[in-house]
Amino acid sequence: MAWLPLSVARWFSFALGRLLYLVTPGRRAVAYRNLSLALPETSGARRRQIARGAYDNVGRVLLALARMPGLNSSNIREWIDYEGFQHYDSGIKKGRGVLFLTAHLGNWELSAVAHALHGNPMHVMVRSLDNPLLDRLLESRRTHCGNRTIRKQEFGRGILRALRDNEPVGILADQNISDEHGWFVDFFGLKASASPAFAKVAMRTGATVIPGVAVWRPRERRYVLKFYPPIEMISTGDEESDLIVNTQRCYNGIERMIRDYPEQWLWMHRRWKIRPDGEPSLY
C-alpha cells in the first residue's frame, strides 16, 4: 500500500478490510453483539452494513499508516481538510491548552498527523504495544511530522506539562478500562467502565475540551478533521460530584460522534466487557 499508485492502494485497502471481515469470525461476532446492545433499534441488515463499514475503516487506517511517511505540508490537503477549526483556535487563544477528546473512530492515526502538518503539532497519548517492532514502527509514523507521544506511564506529568505550555493533547478515551481506576458511565444506554482521568485533567487545568475525529467522506474520497463545539466542564465546588458529571459529559460527546458515523467506529472491541458487581457478562 505504500508503493502502489494511490487509486490501486485504496482498492487494496478495501479488499484487505473485507478479507479481515471474513477471516476474523470472533471479532465479527463481537461487533454484531455490540451493535445489538448499543443500537437495538437497527435491523439485522443495517447492523451487517455497519459491521462491514467498520472493517472497511480499518483498511483505510492501515492505508494511511502505510502512506504516512510520504505525507507533508504540501500534499496533506489532498487527504484531509478541516471543519470546525474555529473551536480549536478559540481554545488555544485562551492560553490553557486544548484536550482533544477522540476515539477509535474514523482515521484516528491520520488525525493527529494531519493537524501537525497543517501547522499545529501536538502531543498524543499512546499505550505501548506488546510487540516492540510494531511499537517502534508506529512511533516513527506518529512523530515524523513533529508530534510527540506521551506514554501511559507518563500520563500525568506529560499532559500537565504540555497544557501548561498551551499545547494541544489528543487522547483516545473510548476503550474499556479494566483496572480498579475505572468508573461506570452510561454509554449507549449501558453501563461502561471508563477512566475519569480525562475529565480530572480538564477540571484541574482549565484546558478547553474539544471532541474531534477524522472522518471519511466517500463522495469526496477524502477525510475531514471535524472539531465539535467544546464540552464545558461543570464546576460546583463538589469535586467528586463534578468529576462524575464531567466524565459522563465526555462520554456523551464520544457517543454523539459515534452515532454520527457508526460505520467508522471500532465495534470489534469488547467495550462492555467489565460489568458492575453482580451483573452477568454481556459476551
Taking only the tens place, the pLDDT of each residue in 174-226 is 999 886 778 999 999 999 999 999 999 999 999 999 999 999 999 999 999 99
Reduced to 3 DSSP states, what percent helix, strand and coil does the chain have, rounded to the nearest 5? Answer: 50, 20, 35
Contacts of 115 (CB under 8 A, 6+ apart): 121, 122, 168, 170, 225
Q: How far apart are CA 122 and CA 162, in angstroms?
A: 9
Calculate what percentage of the chain has a pLDDT beyond 70: 100
pLDDT at residue number 156: 78
pLDDT at residue number 48: 97
pLDDT at residue number 157: 86
Q: Record the pTM.
A: 0.95
Q: How far apart are CA 133 and CA 140, in angstroms?
A: 11
Cell of 186: 452510561
Find out whether 274 and 193 touch, Cβ atoms under 8 Å: yes
Quick: pLDDT tens for 129-174.
889 999 999 999 999 899 999 987 777 788 999 999 999 999 999 9
Between vectors from CA 203 to CA 197 and to CA 208, what angle results, nearest 5°?
A: 100
Q: How far apart are CA 156 and CA 169, in angstroms?
A: 12
pLDDT at residue number 145: 93
pLDDT at residue number 149: 93
